[in-house]
Structure 1
Amino acid sequence: MEPSSSSLIAGVPARSGRPRATSRADLERIGFELFGRQGFDETTVDDIASAAGIARRTFFRYFSSKNDLVWGDFEHQLARLRELLNAAEPSSPVMDALREAVVEFNRYDVTEVPWHRQRMELILTVPTLQADATLRYASWRAIITEFVAKRMGLSPSEVLPRLFGHTLLAAAIAAYEHWLAEDEAQLGDLLDVAIRQVTDGLGKV
């Protein structure tokens, strides 16, 4: 998601001589600008559609809900995480492979960082997003669990692979919470440190 001028939603509907927003990225950008100005709960789908100069039904061609907009193209991101793990060196320790993949998965261009920070602040702090977060986290954990299970010759339903999934998610959330609290902190460094600390507890596998 790229930064954009706040003039896109300067109080005049986009349909008043403004180009209509007709892509996921455009709608995400406008939605996040509105969330920043009005608050997430106070912003409606109608508000976003009006600012974008589109009909309400057009919004739902791109996102199933306002909550869905916050997460962006999450399925694509999950596919990328799988690719990173699949590309890991087979001989590398499990925790090293996980750490490298998670750090790379959370690497963003400097122009995208402010938008990603706003996205994660919403995800981690807005109560009405927590039900969605639980489901998305479960999908993320499942990828970690399946990778570990395959490496260890176990079923994903066994306790050890599940432990890796839950623990890696906890480490990532801890890193993100610190990142949001400290403007100068580097997300990649925080993730690296958090997962290395987990490694000291789980050991090399």
Structure 2
Amino acid sequence: MPTPKTKVSFKEQMHQAREDAILQATCRLLGEKSFDVMTMDDVANAVGIAKASLYKHFASKEDLCCAAMVQILGRVRAYLDTLPAEMPPQDKLQDLVRWSLERLITNEMPLLPSRNSSLRAVLMASRQYLDGLVAVSDQIGQWITEAQAQGLINPALPPLVVLYTLFARACDPVVGFLKEGGQYSDAEIVDLVVRTCFDGLAAR
């Protein structure tokens, strides 16, 4: 006989809904302000709850932001799973970069923490985060090596360099500079950054 599903209480549902709202607000604020500038007061105000309520969910800013980064990795993995298996590897990489830039331009993609940020130490100590990062990196790395074998990406470049270059597009300051300039639409900015990333700057 199938095991009956455990009924979730209304209180638990509300707790989870509030936690989801906290993580969503945190991801947006990390995109707008970065970890070192963002405060717990910012998050509480964005969600519309008391800071004491926020601490019922997360013991510290580091724990909160780590959970947000784990959630983002989950979203990346879910997006990768939607790409058709028959799609050429370079097209998959371009679609991923485009998707990341679209999240970045609307402040949905947290900026990567600096090397001396306390968040980086927390992330490196999180098994859940590291497992997610390895899974995403392995999948992207496979597409990179396939694209290099097909001559679509320079095979002289170490795959790790290509991987980090693509990761860096998710926090590319060029996006913000172009958006502030007001000369291009969001779609045009995304297209321009994708083109410079994959086509380079050399004349053909």
TM-score scaled to structure 2, two decimals? 0.52
Which protein has greater RCO, CA pairs closer than 8 Å, 6+ apart?
2
**Aligned counterparts of 2:148 and 2:185: Cα–Cα separation in 1:** 32
How many positions carry a matched residue from both structures? Answer: 166
**Aligned counterparts of 1:78 and 1:124: Cα–Cα separation in 2:** 18
Contact 2:23–2:67, Cα closer than 8 Å, also in 1: yes
Correspondent of 2:18 among 23, 30, 49: 23
- The 5-angstrom pairing of residues 1-205 of structure 1 reads 22-28=17-23, 43-44=39-40, 48=44, 51=50, 54=53, 56-59=55-58, 65-68=63-66, 70-71=68-69, 73-84=71-82, 86-87=83-84, 89-90=86-87, 92=88, 94-108=89-103, 113=106, 115-116=107-108, 119-120=110-111, 123=112, 128=117, 131=120, 139=134, 141-150=137-146, 160-174=158-172, 177-181=173-177, 182-183=179-180, 184=182, 186-201=185-200
Distance 1:126 1:70, change over 3 A: farther
Distance 1:99 1:149, change over 3 A: same
SS at match of 2:117: helix
- Where structure 1 has 5 or more consecutive residues not aligned to the other structure, the ranges are 1-18
**Aligned counterparts of 2:21 and 2:69: Cα–Cα separation in 1:** 14
Query: What fraction of aligned residue pairs are identical, expressed as a percent?
Result: 12
Contact 1:145–1:162, Cα closer than 8 Å, also in 2: yes
User: Segments of 4+ in structure 1 off by > 6 A?
Assistant: 32-37
Contact 2:62–2:118, Cα closer than 8 Å, also in 1: no
Distance 1:169 1:134, change over 3 A: farther
Distance 1:41 1:199, change over 3 A: closer
Note the C-alpha offset of 1:165: 0.9
Match of 2:4 in 1: none
Question: Alpha-carbon deviations, 1:152-197, whole Å to 9, x = none?
Answer: 679xxx96432321222234433xx122233345555334323322
**Aligned counterparts of 2:51 and 2:96: Cα–Cα separation in 1:** 36
Distance 1:30 1:101, change over 3 A: closer
Distance 1:106 1:68, change over 3 A: same
One-letter amino acid of the structure 1 residue matched with residue 117 of structure 2: T
Superposed CA RMSD in Å reads: 5.0
- Where structure 2 has 5 or more consecutive residues not aligned to the other structure, the ranges are 1-13, 151-155
